[in-house]
Structure 1
């Protein structure tokens, strides 16, 4: 009996469950049907709303474009006079730049003309006049005189010792001094000949150039010749003679005097010779050329200082006196040995 009751209970429960599931299924299907019914309508409504929104946006954009075009047109009307003014200003600025450039060019040409005129007047003033010195010239006669004295005080002493060592006891003091004086004299003569030849070659070259250009054979103007001399002085230290240019002349000179020339290969003697070449070159390119007193005169005491002994008469010249020009004023005194 109890078994039958339990079975009936389970059957009723199952039937109720099925009925519940059936009701739930019906409700779900109804809901789904309702959703399917309203979805197209919602889509159409959304599409309509979107079209209206798009139309409003297009209308608004058209209004904005129209406003922008109006403003651009107004801006163009405003900018037109300013553009004309800008073009005019640029034109005036360009004209001002041209005028400034022309003015600078005129000033530069005027200054250049004044410099050339000043150089010509200065050249004419200094032409052949050694008493007018250019204080900016480091190789002016007074400076050369100082270097000439320093050469005797320094390199001459070293060269004397080198020659004395080379000849040992074969040469006496006056003979050794005569050798060093001979080196200086040969350097001076070599530089003098080279300077004269160089100036003649340059002058001939300028004449040939003038002949080619003008088709006329004319003399070299004094101003141009003076300018050439000044340019040579400015480049003097770059055109210094070298020892190898005079080495052969030196050996021939001393060999002819029956003196062996081995001492010329000594480094100290070479350095002394090079310094003699340098100073002699600076002397001969002056305008007029400087001069040396290699032989004593009646006024020996005015031109020479005593070497070891004083006296009334000159025994031999040790180091020459230096003159501003041939027969000119004394730049630096020489050295000589005197006796009573």
Structure 2
């Protein structure tokens, strides 16, 4: 009775296990390998049940079979757990569950061997997937750290950008305000210029000792700049040219060039004085304009009134660049011949560079003499004065007292007026 009871229990367990296999088969029908194993296990169990039902009652069932059945059940449960864990791991790393190829069991292997082999294989895959998951988690942590740093940098950059934008807005606001102020200042300046221009005829006299007419291009400050450029450019070129084409000493050359400037200034002054004297004489004797006695009658006794002199000077300054510098150039040569006879006999004035310098002297000094009052060039000092003179490069500053000669004339805004440009001297 005990044997029959155990047999019935075994058969009940086998049927339950077979039903369980059917359920597992329904759950795992998408896995070809699992489906094959389940079908084979179910077939095997059904065959064993049939054989036990036909067997005689004297054939006892061994406990080994029940242990085997119990062991197979545990293996199936373990395999199912591992496969579920395997699927979860595959989902974590983004691989589909059915990407593993189906491996049919070898004919020589039994169902238990196949299950054990599959179990070992699943364990290995499980371990590999766990290692891969750990590696991915580490990478995710690193990427999270990098993302946190990037976010932090982004926040700082955003704050810096906002600060910069606010600063730029402030700068733009200040810039626009300055533009408006500049436009207002220009407008006020134009208004003052117009007011000054309108009031000039009422004043009756313009004097550059008190104010410069900034609407005129020919005015003392501009002339001083031209005079300074004349020394630094054309004078240097002329000096180097004379050193090449003549055998004169440097001292003689610089004295000659200084004399060219003074001759130009004196010639322009003679022209301007003659012009004023001629106009004064014509106003006194208008008929002289059709006779040949104009130059003889021009004694200098007749003088123009200040308002006429001012008007003439204004017209001359408006057309200062129309002066015929060739005429003044000829007058310069005549004056230089008297003082530098030997030098002029070498005809240095025929050189193009020297001619350019002399013509430039004529144009610049003409602008000087038509000012009101005329500007003044001076080479008459005899004692060295550091406030009025600068020394030639070869002079000893500590021993400089007496002026031997001028290298470059000093420029004043008028005679005995304010010094505009120091004279260059050779002193010992």
TM range (shorter): 0.5 to 0.7
From 337, 350, 360, the counterpart of 1:252 = 337
Q: Please name the residue that 1:165 is paired with.
A: 244
Matches within 5 A, 1:55-134: 118-124=199-205, 126-127=206-207, 130-134=209-213
Note the residue ranges of structure 2 that are not aligned, 5 or more in a row. 1-194, 288-301
Q: CA deviation at 1:134?
A: 0.7
Contact in 1 for aligned 2:238/2:354 (Cα 8 Å): yes
* Equivalent residue, structure 2, for 1:145: 224
How far apart are residue 332 of structure 1 and its match? 1.1
Aligned pairs for 1:317-328 within 5 A: 317-328=406-417
Distance 1:336 1:247 in 2: 22
Residue 268 (structure 1) shift: 0.4
Distance in 1 of aligned mates of 2:274 and 2:321:
18
Q: How far apart are 1:235 and its partner, in Å?
A: 1.7
Instruction: Tell me if the contact between 2:254 and 2:407 (Cα under 8 Å) persists in the aligned partners.
Output: yes
Aligned positions of 1:167-316 closer than 5 A? 167-168=246-247, 171-208=248-285, 221-242=305-326, 245-246=330-331, 248-249=333-334, 252-253=337-338, 256=341, 260-298=345-383, 300-308=385-393, 309=395, 310-311=397-398, 312-313=400-401, 314-316=403-405
> How far has the Cα of 1:230 moved from its partner?
1.3
Question: Aligned residue for 1:45?
Answer: none
Distance between the aligned counterparts of 1:222 and 1:259, measured in 2? 40
**In structure 2, C-alpha distance between the alignment counterparts of 1:194 and 1:250, rounded to whole Å:** 14
How many residues in Structure 1 have an aligned counterpart in Structure 2?
217
CA, structure 1 residues 203+166, in 2 after alignment: closer, same or farther (shift >3 Å)?
same
Give CA-to-partner distance per residue, 1:3-30, whole Å, 9 cap, x none: xxxxxxxxxxxxxxxxxxxxxxxxxxxx
Cα deviation 1:47-104 (Å, max 9, x = unaligned): xxxxxxxxxxxxxxxxxxxxxxxxxxxxxxxxxxxxxxxxxxxxxxxxxxxxxxxxxx
Preserved contact between residue 255 and residue 261 of structure 1 (Cα < 8 Å): no
DSSP 3-state at the match of 2:380? coil
Task: Tell whether the 8 Å contact from 2:242 to 2:348 is kept in structure 1 after alignment.
Answer: yes
Structure 1: gaps spanning 5 or more residues? 1-113, 211-217
Query: Which structure is richer in relative contact order (CA contacts within 8 A, separation 6 or more)?
Result: 1
Q: 1:118 to 1:179 in 2, by over 3 A?
A: same
Determine helix, strand or coil for the equivalent of 2:232. helix
Check whether the contact 1:318–1:336 (CA below 8 A) recurs between aligned residues.
yes
CA 1:290–1:251 in structure 2 vs 1: closer, same or farther (change >3 Å)?
Answer: closer
Task: Measure how far apart 1:253 and its partner are.
Answer: 3.0
CA contact (8 A) 1:251 1:261 kept: no
- How far the C-alpha of 1:265 sits from its partner, in A, is 0.5
Q: Does the 8 Å CA contact 2:256/2:340 hold for their aligned counterparts?
A: no
Cα separation, 1, equivalents of 2:368 and 2:235 = 18
Per-residue deviation, 1:152: 0.7
Per-residue CA distance 1:177-223 (angstroms, 9 max, x = gap): 1111111121111111111001122233344469xxxxxxx985432
Q: Is the 8 A contact 1:203 1:225 kept in 2?
A: no
TM-score where L is the length of structure 2: 0.46
Distance in 1 of aligned mates of 2:303 and 2:373:
20
